[in-house]
Amino acid sequence: MTAPGRGDYFGRAYSSVFGLRRNRVVNVLVWHVHGSWTTAFVQGRHRYLLPTLPERGPWGGGRPAAWDWPASAVECSPAELADADVDVVVLQRPEEIELAERWLGRRPGRDVPAVFLEHNAPRGGPAASSRHPVADRDDLLLVHVTNFNDLMWDTGAIADDSWAPAGRPVQRRLVLNNSQERRVTLRTTMKAQLAAIGYTPDAITYLALSHYHWDHTANANQFVKSTWLARKIERDAMLPETAPEPPQPSTFADLKNGKTVVIQEDDHDVFGDGTVVLKLAKGHTPGHQVLYVKLAKTGGVVLSGDLYHYPEERTLNRLPTFEFNVDQTRESRAAIEAFLKKTGAQLWIQHDFTAMAKIKKAPAFYE
């Protein structure tokens, strides 16, 4: 069994596993844990009961304000769940087993059908030597989900379809639509780097761009099937109603007809668990943003976009002369520096050629 998409997952799978009648609307108890997966899951034709506590928090978050969920996704307090006719429990964390039993008065897997949906790789060691907490329970169906936690951040400076790899470094002279020129050295395509870790652009759930400049958006059109997480002010600058002004608009023009989620808040928690957060850092462009990722072993990392271009800008407190709004850039830098100090996260400056040359490249990765 695989992860559900925007279809009738219960009608196709659970009816055979749990004896539920096909075509019946099912009451599903499910916690909001991973925003991207849950958003896809609740698009089905069933009724989704979301535990909701007054303080919200991890065990009773209810419906999220930032996601567009249908009316069939219903918030329920523990008292309301006690009287609810729950047909199936979808568990995603071991602690939910006890919570469901306490709130429903029924034991998941024994008194009410239940499935345990595992989103994450083992945290206590490698998968080959780990055993899942419910692996020995014959009353719970264990399902592993791997395809709903993908985000592509920026898409390179050179479009894959504009050159051909030759087995050696390729020199290119790039002329932008505003007559600016750049000389670049190419070794491999973005698509080849994704393939090295088992992905294709069509398989990526989300696309996020630090900003619209040519050297961050060259392959954005390849992700037209992904959901673009965009700030309205930046999207409007990229895809204006009048003649386009951004350099190389053709590299992201197809996104206009793709699916877009407009980010409303300054800090957008992509997966709802604090591990991947888009943080507004405007100034370089109207809606410029940086990306914070929290890795289990590496720790927190902030990918800079163009908040900084060189380490010297940071150490000498120098501001570029080509900002959309230099005062906003100054404020954004101060806010991100405070965040770095508070969290202890690293800052990776994407234009720092020396530092970027030393980091791991696909298929190598950081844990």
Q: What is the pLDDT along the chain (367 residues), one digit of tens a residue?
A: 223 333 333 333 334 344 445 568 899 999 998 877 888 899 999 999 999 999 999 999 999 887 789 999 999 999 999 999 999 999 999 999 999 999 999 999 999 999 998 876 555 544 444 577 887 888 988 887 765 568 999 999 889 998 888 888 888 887 766 677 878 888 889 999 998 888 899 889 899 999 999 899 999 999 999 999 999 999 999 988 776 566 567 889 999 999 999 999 999 988 766 789 999 999 999 999 999 999 878 999 999 999 999 999 999 999 998 899 999 999 999 999 999 999 999 999 999 989 998 999 888 888 8
Q: What angle do CA 359, 267, 330 make, to 5 degrees?
A: 75
**CA-CA distance, 178 to 157, in Å (whole number)?**
16
Which domains are seen in the chain, by residue range?
A: 9-144 (3.40.50), 150-251 (3.60.15.10)
Which of 188, 189, 156, 183 is CA-nearest to residue 169?
Answer: 188
Three-state secondary structure string covering 3-57? CCCCCCHHHHHHHHHHCCCCCCCCEEEECCCCHHHHHHHCCCCCEEEEEECCCCC
- Strands 299-303, 346-348: parallel, antiparallel or unpaired by DSSP? parallel
The confidence score (pLDDT) of residue 165 equals 87
Q: 44, 13 in Cβ contact below 8 A?
A: no
Specify the length of the chain in residues: 367
What integer pLDDT is reported at residue 133 of this predicted model? Answer: 85
pLDDT in the model for residue 4: 32
pTM above 0.85, yes or no: no
Helices and strands, number each (H, E), in the chain: 11, 17
Distance CA 32, CA 352 (A): 38
For residue 269, the cross-strand partners are: 277
